[in-house]
Amino acid sequence: AKKIEGLKSQIRTSGFEVYDGYSSRWLGEVDGKPMLGGLEDFGMRVLHNIWNAIQRDYPDDEAREDAIAQVTAMHEAFAETQATGFVGRKGALKQVQEVIDEGKSQLVLAVGKPGSGKSAFMAAYAQQFSQSKQSKLAKSLVLSHFIGAAPGSGNVSAILSRLCHEMKRRFALALDVPVDYPDLVMAWPTFLEDSSSAVGKDCTLLVLIDGLDLLEDTHNGRAMDWLPLTIPKGIVVLLSTTEGGP
């Protein structure tokens, strides 16, 4: 037991990505072999990591853009479904808009109880924000990410990568999207800055990330140190989580 714990401790402090505490269940023995079940989350994580490694070592820009477009379609479909089911709470929508209009903070956090319809609220606000803008760029003024809307959407590296790719595509930014997480964290404030310049001083780009309570702890994502210390003018980052979340 001590050797096992020692090995686990060595792995956890190795500096490599560690997926700890995943769900599983004992199924007993089959033909004399121990069997485990309920490893779907673990399998999806392994698949996601292998795919990222393939993309890093054998980049295919066209295939990557197709994959990002498919994921974006999942987020848009999720948002549309959630917004359609949103009822009431016009006062809460107005309150968020007032906070943003005041301009005192470009980082806004919406907190709700589990099961309170937080995602529906965020989707409805994104829809309202987009429709309120009298600009040819209206659809481009909202960039949404709903954790849980697509496989791997709770991985902070995947979140930043997708947001950067979307900004690059929507605003024709002459920037390369890094593959490695430390480089992504360093680069994405630059993507925000250049996107702010692209939309112009009379417009606001809303970057919405829903469901921080569902963030994986990969790259210590739940510590939230990936958020920029300074958000460029013309950018508002709207986040949501449950009470007691990160």
Tens digits of residue pLDDT in 124-155 = 888 888 877 544 555 558 899 999 998 889 99
Let me know the angle formed at the C-alpha of 214 by 208 and 217, rounded to the nearest 5 degrees: 110
Nearest to 178 by CA among 67, 66, 52, 86: 52
Beta 205-210 vs 235-242: how paired, if at all? parallel
Tokens of 14: 């190795």
- pLDDT for residue 157: 93
The reported pTM is 0.71
39-60 average pLDDT score:
74
Give me the phi and psi of 146, to 5 degrees please.
-110, 110
State the angle between helix axes of 61-84 and 156-171 in degrees (0 to 180), rounded to the nearest 10. 100
Tens digit of pLDDT for each residue in 212-229? 999 998 898 899 999 998
Q: Which of 195, 230, 245, 241 is nearest to 106 (CA)?
A: 230
Nearest 5°: phi and psi at 150?
-150, 155
Instruction: Give 30's pLDDT tier (boundaries 50, 70, 90).
Output: confident
Confidence of residue 188 (pLDDT cuts 50, 70, 90): very high
Angle at the Cα of 71 (from 69 to 77), degrees rounded to 5?
Answer: 100
Phi then psi for residue 232, to 5 deg, are -60, 155
